[in-house]
Structure 1
Amino acid sequence: MFAKIVSALLAKIVLVVLILLLIGALPVWRYSARWGFLPAAVIAIMALVVYVFARLGRI
């Protein structure tokens, strides 16, 4: 029971961190305009995978 609670908490923490990274990776600053949307897309896919695994109970 305790392991499942800790696992759910860690999944939420990882999801929040990935969302914050996604916001930080958006190309809105001058130095990151050359990057395009690739970093944001990669982080968004990672956040989606973590979310799906958390909903399925795998994490």
Structure 2
Amino acid sequence: MHGISLLLFLDLLLVASVPAWPYSRTWGYGPSGTVGAGLIVMLWLVLTGQV
């Protein structure tokens, strides 16, 4: 249950890090790419049963 909660939290962070404000459009894929990579790693850990 803890792993799924963490996955949902990382998913929300991924959606929140999409550059929607004019000043954040120059950030590129940095914020969403970092959170997306964390989401993939966490998904892998949950599916293999390590979390």
TM-score by length of structure 1 reads 0.79
Q: Which has the larger radius of gyration?
A: 1
Unaligned runs of 5+ in 1: 1-8
Unaligned runs of 5+ in 2: none
Q: Percent identity?
A: 27
Structure 1 ranges of 4+ moved more than 2 A = none
More helix by share: 1
TM-score by length of structure 2 reads 0.90
Query: CA-atom RMSD, angstroms?
Result: 0.9
Aligned length: 51
